[in-house]
Amino acid sequence: MRHSKVKQTIDSGVIKNRKSSSVLSYRLKCAKTANGLSHFVMYGDVPKEKTVL
Amino acid sequence: MPEGLHFWKNHDAASVMLDPDNLFWGINARQNHPDVLIPPAILALYEKVKNQLKREIKEFRFGQELTAIYIDPTDRCNASCSYCYISPKTRKNGRSMTQEELDRVLEKIAAHFKGQKRKQVIIFHASEPLLVKEILFNAIRRYKHVFKFGIQTNALLMEKKDVVFLKKHRVGVGISLDSFSPAVNNRQRFSREEKGNFAKAVKAIEWFKGYAGLNVITTITKFNVRDLPGLVKFLHGKKVPCVLMNPVRFTRAPIAALKPDDAVLTRCFIKAVNTAVRLSKTSSHKIIVGNFTNTLLAIIAPVARRLMCDISPCGGGRCFFTITARGDMIPCGEFTGLKQFCGGNIFTHSIPEAMQSRAFRKVRERMVEKISECKTCAFRNICGAPCPAELHSLGDMYQKAVFCEFYKNIIKFAFQVIAQDKVRYLVRSDSWSSLTYKYCLN
């Protein structure tokens, strides 16, 4: 499996570490509020400037 | 065995456990054993967090407040898509709101939300909102400091100056396109003048040039189902950040003839998601399949979900509702034309009256615990058994969802994606950066 080493993801200053293994269980939560977002992925959350995706 | 837990061997032979009521899950990716094997550490974690998760899910399902309102400013449409949920008669002869009426509607909504910190979302939707472009753009200019705006369009009337305007005001834009093939697309999304919206939709997508607020919506039928992977590749080449691929809804009788085969749909949808992952991994541009992303979020971050169609009760009449061109307030656009689902008229009734109406309550009261197919299903709070309007049109809101088997297979695939650690390629970068671990075992 791919979960064989410590993974580090840096996204907009948030550092995410996860030690990898074949056993997984996790839950993520919003660090920022999701308020103002509609039920569609695309409406209501257009960033101020173009985000490089 | 702890009460409420479901166990199974997934497609990739991983052992999976899931509590459908609080959405706690665990995966053991060891593949060399025929039995389901769940390590004690996962069960210990489950015991520790299960009650808190259950409270969180309950609040999410029943405590979410109104955050978005759809406005259909006109009944009319310049296309005649084969699967439209609005009748051909209404699309041809329906009415349009005047500028004064739209202003009254927006003022009433603004007054309802007065004092709230966040901006509510207003989405101009079906039939074709750009037929009344002037009044919409005036409204956006006037209320841009009060609301966030979105618009869903077939792009037949989109001009380059409109694109500049919509980008300037950070309007979320959904463009309808069903295939990379002009012939396949135009067969489904026919228009008398243009013979279909392909050329105009693609031109508009090019004008938007990677705009972060752009998405493409695809309705899947038996005619375009095999084009899904190619469409992802096509849209990735046009710098589109998000595509929603929704199976056709049976809200009108003739639509049933368009149903794609379940097995073909599952295979092509998975291939489309895998294409998106491959392209996002190997290029500087990321494209997500938005409804699959929502399925993933339902598992790894349930309360971060943004599509409300796969939550039970669904978001209709709860987190959002629709105002028709006549001012009728209905739980969702899918209920257009179903009189018993009108919760009042915005010109004569208040928003709280609509929210408390029998029509809206009827939709909010429909939940998976009351659907016999879902009662014993582990995935009931991941798929939500959509859609109540569609199933009501087919005779019973509480019957098995039309695409139940498809959803089950897609959810199993989502667990496979999680086990393979591909999630970050399937979530928008800005959304991914706003997520942190609540807990993590490994």
Confirm or reject contact between B241 and chain A (CB < 8 A): yes
**How far away is chain B from the Cα of A4, in angstroms, using its nearest Cα?**
10
**pLDDT, tens digit (0-9, with 9 covering 90-100), for B351-370:** 999 999 999 999 999 999 99
pLDDT in tens, chain B (442 residues): 445 899 998 877 789 999 999 999 999 987 677 777 888 999 999 999 999 999 999 998 998 788 889 999 999 999 989 888 888 888 888 899 999 999 999 999 999 999 987 788 899 997 899 999 999 999 999 999 999 899 999 999 999 999 999 999 989 999 999 999 999 999 999 988 788 999 999 999 999 999 988 999 999 999 999 999 999 999 999 999 999 999 999 887 788 899 999 999 999 999 999 999 999 999 999 999 999 998 999 999 998 887 788 899 999 999 899 999 999 999 999 999 888 999 999 999 999 999 999 999 999 999 999 999 999 999 999 999 999 999 999 999 999 999 999 999 999 999 999 999 899 899 887 777 778 899 998 6
Whether pLDDT at A17 is above 50: no
Mutate to test the interface with B, among A29, A33, A43, A50 (most CBs of B within 10 A): A43
Task: Report the alpha-carbon distance of residue B287 to residue A35 in Å, rounded.
Answer: 24
Residues of B in contact with A12 (CB under 8 A): 430, 433
C-alpha dist (Å) from residue B265 to A5, B219, B308: 36, 12, 22
Mutate to test the interface with A, among B421, B422, B423 (most CBs of A within 10 A): B421
- Please give the structure tokens belonging to residue A35: 């308020």
**CA within 13 Å, CB half, B111:** 10
Mutate to test the interface with B, among A11, A25, A49 (most CBs of B within 10 A): A25
Q: Which residues of A touch B (CB under 8 A)?
A: 1-3, 7, 9, 11-14, 16, 18-48, 50-53
Q: Is the CB of residue B170 less than 8 Å from the CB of residue B121?
A: no
Task: Report the alpha-carbon distance of residue B345 to residue B329 in Å, rounded.
Answer: 6
Task: Report the alpha-carbon distance of residue B109 to residue B114 in Å, rounded.
Answer: 9
**How far away is chain A from the Cα of B302, in angstroms, using its nearest Cα?**
8
Task: Report the alpha-carbon distance of residue B328 to residue B313 in Å, rounded.
Answer: 22
Task: Report the alpha-carbon distance of residue B190 to residue B197 in Å, rounded.
Answer: 7
Task: Fill in the DSSP letter of residue A52.
Answer: P
Q: Which of A1, A24, A51 sits opposite B429 (nearest CB)?
A: A51
This complex has an ipTM of 0.88
Closest CA to B147 of A41, A39, A36, A50: A36
Q: Is the CB of residue A48 less than 8 Å from the CB of residue A42?
A: no
Cβ-Cβ contacts under 8 Å between A and B: the total is: 201
Q: Which of B285, B287, B304 sits opposite A34 (nearest CB)?
A: B304
- Please give the structure tokens belonging to residue B98: 């005047």
